[in-house]
Amino acid sequence: MTVMLALTATTAAATAPPTVLTEIVHVAPYAVAFSLPVALAGSAALHKLRRRGLATSTTVLVLTPLVATLAGVLGVSGFMFTPILTTTLVICLLVALVTVPTGVLLGRSLARRSVWERDARARERTAEAARRELVAWVSHDLRTPLSGIRAMSEALADGVVSRPDEVNAYAHKITGEANRLSRMVDDLFELSRIAAGALRLSLSTVDLAEIVDEAVAAERPMAERKGVRLRTHAATGPTVLGSSPELARIVRNLISNAVRHTPERTSVMVHVGSDDAEAWVFVDDACGGIPEAELTRVFEVAFRGSQARSPQEGPPAGDLDGGRRTGPTAAQPAGSGLGLAIARGLVEAHRGRIEACNHGPGCRFEVRLPLAA
């Protein structure tokens, strides 16, 4: 009886189904053999597409494990399409319909974020370089009038200058240097407001020709001292929606910049007009022109151009002149060097645009503003 029971147990053990571990050991080589080539092909595709968009790479990354899984399942089943295999394939297809679009959307989102971060870092580096350069030459410009004021005040205090006419001349010079410092501080403050987005405009309907006439009248004494003829040509006054003080500052900055870089016995011409869509102001000078490669950079803060001069008393320290080729500059009044950058910021705040181009014997600065409704 005992022998019979032992034989029965042995037969049952021999005919029992294999364990799960045995099944895994049996099918694992087939799964690896069919899925590994797909995985390697996907890796090669990712390497080849590494310079393409992030969305493409993400799509390949999502499809590779899915296709490798399908290849492994088909290899293990011996390509016998049983009901279980068919069900598995349908499930994999449904999973692909969900994961592939999700992967594409995620890839595009990551690509946009990567591009935005890269552009933001580039803008930050550019802004930081501009800030360092701005601080360098503005600090030089600040020291120049301060040194003059200190020297003249010490001369007055020590009695080196005692004659009334000399004292009066020194007082006028000190006042002029103090005004120069004040203008420079005002320009820096205005530029900081523009850069920080803190500029608030009080908009109203403005006659652009009147703004230009007032700016020309204000800048004419400087032009006459320099020996430059300042003329205007205005059509019927176009009206724009803007802020009068800021518009006047735009025109005055452009005229001042043009007069400063125009040789004596030549002219600066200011044109005002409009067309069907916009009003415009053109300021033409006789500076000799700006190198073509630098025309797009003349409105950048602290850009002085390849031929720009170092900051010094008399001519302005790098008034964003774009390396103009000018005549004698000893009599030029000093400026803060921020005029064109401020003009661009104010024009853009009015939803207009400003450009520079070589025109005739010099340059033309063009301001275009939307007409009032």
Write down the domain spans for the chain.
16-118, 124-196, 204-370
Whole-number pLDDT of residue 367: 94
| The domain over range 204-370 is classified in CATH as 3.30.565.10 | yes
The structure tokens listed for 133 are 């350069």
- What was the pLDDT predicted at 347? 92
The answer to whether the CB of 278 falls within 8 A of the CB of 369 is yes
pLDDT along the chain (373 residues), means of 10: 37 50 72 78 78 70 77 75 76 77 75 80 78 71 81 86 85 86 80 75 88 91 90 81 91 91 90 88 90 82 53 38 38 60 89 90 92 83
CA-based nearest residue to 350, from 367, 373, 364, 365: 367
**b/e 217-238 (16+ beta carbons within 10 angstroms → b):** eebeebbeebebbbebebeebb
pLDDT at 255: 93
Supply the pLDDT for residue 182: 83
CATH number for domain 124-196, candidates 1.10.287.130, 1.20.210.10, 3.40.50.920, 1.10.3470.10: 1.10.287.130
Whether this model's pTM surpasses 0.75: no
- The confidence score (pLDDT) of residue 250 equals 92
